[in-house]
Amino acid sequence: MGKTIANLVAKDAIAELACGLVRVGNNFDGIDLGEFLGYENKGKKITSNPDEFIKNCDAVIDFSSPQLSLEIAKKCSEKNKILVCGTTGFSDEEKQKLSEYAKNCVIIWSANMSVGVNLLMNLVEKVAAILRDDYDIEIVEMHHKNKVDAPSGTALSLGAAAAKGRNIDLKSSSIMSYVGTNVPRKKGTIGFSCLRGGDVIGDHSVIFAGENERVELTHKAGSRDVFASGAIRAAIWGSNQKAGFYLMRDVLNF
């Protein structure tokens, strides 16, 4: 994902590559960014030092892990840098901490930076409000075999959109597994199904199942470019915003 973002930034008409961050002990530490990407040398280095990395940037695009993302958010807050965060798997407490850091800087977070997925979230909220609990909601997602969090952050955000449309609490209304329950489905609940296999980048479907009909809304990512391009768009948008915590839906003015 990091290499995809860097490649698209390098080609962007507005954004410019300033630095790259890698894990401590990574073999790429100290390599020129241009060399890493297969271009001519750019005089910009890859580093494993977060302080050096953030010092050289106006905006940071981060798709890493909750622990590292919070460390980067803290440093962005201290240095008043823009942070675009596409990391998933945050606990509620970690999300709260992330939003607190946004008091001193612009932080834009989304479980999915794709324009299409965020459009899907907007549609799901509206459809859920219109169809009400006469329709059962099932959220089905599939990702590559190496993805460890389930349901995906995008699936949970789609569930949150559906719950918001119905004005209900997602946690108390979610069904994460039907296996072994041996009871009929309760009206008004939101079910999640997770599939893992192969190299699937990300497929998400929201099914509204009623009597004699179904309404299905689906998004399929064909390339990680859709996440990277959305993140770059968010970083540029964030340069004109006041400090605060924003979602990708704010960037797209939904």
- What mean pLDDT is predicted for residues 26-39? 87
**Per-residue confidence (pLDDT) for residue 66, from 0 to 100:** 94
Q: CATH fold of 115-220, please?
A: Dihydrodipicolinate Reductase; domain 2 (3.30.360)
Judged by average pLDDT, the poorest of 115-124, 180-189, 213-222 is 180-189
Q: Which of 45, 75, 143, 219 is catalytic?
A: 143
Q: Answer yes or no: 143 catalytic.
A: yes
Give me the DSSP letters along 58-125.
Answer: SEEEE-S-HHHHHHHHHHHHHHT-EEEE------HHHHHHHHHHTTSSEEEE-S---HHHHHHHHHHH
Please identify, in words, the CATH class of the domain defined by 2-112+224-251: alpha beta
pTM beyond 0.95, yes or no: no
- What mean pLDDT is predicted for residues 78-91? 94
- What mean pLDDT is predicted for residues 242-247? 97
**Per-residue confidence (pLDDT) for residue 229, from 0 to 100:** 95
The CB density around residue 104, as the number of other CB atoms within 10 Å, is 16
Statement: residue 36 has pLDDT above 90: no
Q: Which of 147, 187, 204, 220 is catalytic?
A: 147
Question: If we measure between CA atoms, which residue out of 196, 222, 199, 218 comes closest to residue 207?
Answer: 218
- What mean pLDDT is predicted for residues 96-116? 95
Q: Is 180 left (phi over 0), alpha (psi -120 to 50) or beta?
A: left
| CA distance linking residue 68 with residue 81, whole number of Å | 16
Chain region(s) in the chain for CATH 3.40.50.720: 2-112+224-251
**Per-residue confidence (pLDDT) for residue 107, from 0 to 100:** 98
